[in-house]
Structure 1
Amino acid sequence: MSTSVQKTLNSERSFWFFLGPAFLVSVGYMDPGNWATSLEAGSRYGYDLLWVITLASLVAILMQLLSAKLGIATGKNLAQMIRIQHPGRSGTFLLSTAAVAMVATDLAEFLGVAVALNLLFDIPLVVAIFLTIFDVLLILWLERFGFRWVEMTILAFVATIGLGYIVELWLAQPQWLDVAHSMLVPNATIFDTTALFIAMGILGATVMPHNLYLHSHQVMTRRQSGVVTPATRLRCYRMMKWDTVLALTAAWLVNSAILIMASAAFHEKGLLITDIDEAYKTLGPLLGSAAALTFAIALLASGVASSTTGTLAGQIVFESFFKKRPVNILKIRVFIRLATMIPAAVAILMSATPLSLLVLSQVILSMQLPFAVVPLVKMTSNPHLMGDLVNDLKTRIMAWSATGIIVGLNIWLLVMLGFESIG
């Protein structure tokens, strides 16, 4: 196809054509790990930590925009660019930490599916863990009909989660004036040691490495439609901005809704919730069986959708790690899933709780996050790589400031976890 025809096709693409990549990514911001954190935050401190979710969401939007920009400007995803920019041992190290993070990500996601199956159908947790391999393979099978089908399926799950929490909030009847104030205004609760620990957990787990790798890859499904000039690249990025802001605003609302529901349903009645299944069992007597059932269905949707995107992100990293596309993509996907299922099943058999495994996965992700964020900000600030899409001075200041916050809080979180384990 000639350049002029490609340019015409790209310029005629509608706004709706560009929507999708960020919604695929957004499920990572409402995954079971975030559920556990928001449930405890809401039940323990009411609405006081809502502003932390707002701050974390703003940082997430910035980082995901940089990820999308990298894919549009270079035509390669973050993992591929790390391999190109760091061809030696440093690149192998960075991608090795990313591979570990992908396994940790998948651990948190599929545990949500297993817990939901256990709650809905009383399937033993260990059996439910092994059943989770089929959900991802089923959805990824849709790829043969075009990736748009996968995006639409994930979007359906996101809608299910959102509708579930509309029902939960309607049943819980929160104090909306207090909600609006707490969403935007920081408060002194953050100086409480436990509150600070939970707040850092929210911030540290919100910007997850696998979302950065996945987003930079997914935007290329739009870029390949003929983005061949600075003007068409810029238009594609502008559309991706809308996609990202809309999708992550939805994720912010869902995360906020989890905390709001926990505050209205549990905190106002003096109940502290520290595990997902505990929330399910408590909602029934408080708000009725419909609330408990809605909660479990939304959790299942969250786990299935986020485990699917986690496996996709893992595939992207492993392909770059081995420097070439594997002959059998199915083997890579099954390997990623088995690498997390088997250790988790063993841990559950040894009486570990799903919450403890979720915390472990978040710690591993926190340790890897700087190795994804720093190269991302550095590369998107390089004019030789990015051309007209290079970060301007304002974006560089915001990006490096956000990186400093992320790295600092993650280090602080790890130190606190270390002191807690020693104590």
Structure 2
Amino acid sequence: MPVTATADTAAAALPVAHADFGALRRQDPEIAEVILGEQTRQSETLQLIAAENFTSPAVLAALASPLANKYAEGYPGARHHGGCELVDVAERLAVQRATALFGAEHANVQPHSGSSAVLAAYAALLKPGDTVLAMGLPYGGHLTHGSPANFSGRWFDFVGYGVDAETGLIDYEQVRDLARRRRPKAIVCGSISYPRHPDYETFRDIADEAGAYLIVDAAHPMGLIAGGAAPSPVPYADVVCATTHKVLRGPRGGMILCGSELAERIDRAVFPFTQGGAQMHTIAAKAVAFGEAATPAFTAYAHQVVANARVLADGLAGEGMAVLTGGTDTHLISADPTPLGVDGRSARGRLAAAGVVLDTCALPYGDGRGLRLGTAAVTTQGMGEAQMARIAGLFTAGLRAEGEQARTVRAEVRELAGRFPPYRG
């Protein structure tokens, strides 16, 4: 469908240089219309996908910079291409800011994604066929935690641990028992839908008893950790893998933290083993995001993300949904909508029609799909607890509405989102 928002005023509102966008509109109007249409979509709907956020204009400016033109295989001071003097400065800044922000001895900021970071961690520490203990996919494990469709499940012998059937919390005694019996080479701590803080100290104790490496996949909580709103795994893990988007509010990409004793192995596992040239515009944008995350404003933001998630979780429970683990400690909420008479997949479709964008997730010990949502993006937009209470009402109204009622809910969502634009001016 053609996008109608193509006026100069709409183009000027984009968080990129107007002159650059004007050139794009003249040269490739089809792609320009896609960009403008996506801006409209993001501005008129509620972004509750737990893995998404809005970067700052400064991060976007770095992404759209001439650094995108530079090929920079290798590391600062040891590149395979000439002309890297300035991009070396950018990468060193990103590394310095990351290690300071998270209290780590070493950081690799080159991974293109969270999955790339996990792949490099496995490559550095494991051999094909090694046993790895990780959260099972039905309980919230990521594809890189042993999915048979992923490299992890094809190259390594993954053993899955789960959660308690009644509380939904990690069963640490099961983890310990599996580690004692299977003697894994590595234990992975991390999830895409677990809304509580893991006990990193207990995981460290279990790993030490089993003689295993502890790899923490902190893709989701990394921004909360940066803002002091979640405990840090850095003192306990051998390697921490993460994304730089999600709550951290940087560009799409990954990073790895580790101690100095593993630094060389991690670096060589990223390049040249699993990746080629670093994306220097993205690395510069990561540096910008790390700098932003070190500010008091970001600390306040991270705590507001959690406060918003707790209010939204309580609101959804009050509307009749089954909220897993009884609530949340993070930006994440996992919920079962079946008490309202609709399964997860159908609920996602109904909510999308109402302008509420989110994901489904596996339900532990259930046959269907639940809903996974997060509060990072709407908090970036400036929404607070009052708006979370309203979203809970719109949420359930969207699940129940049909016909004219559905159009009314969609209009209310558009009105709410319009009062909190992702990018102002």
TM-score between the two structures when normalised by the length of structure 2: 0.28
Q: Which has the higher helix share?
A: 1
Please tell me whether Structure 1 or Structure 2 has the larger radius of gyration of its CA atoms: 2
When you count strand as a share of all residues, which structure comes out higher? 2
Output the TM-score relative to the length of structure 1: 0.28
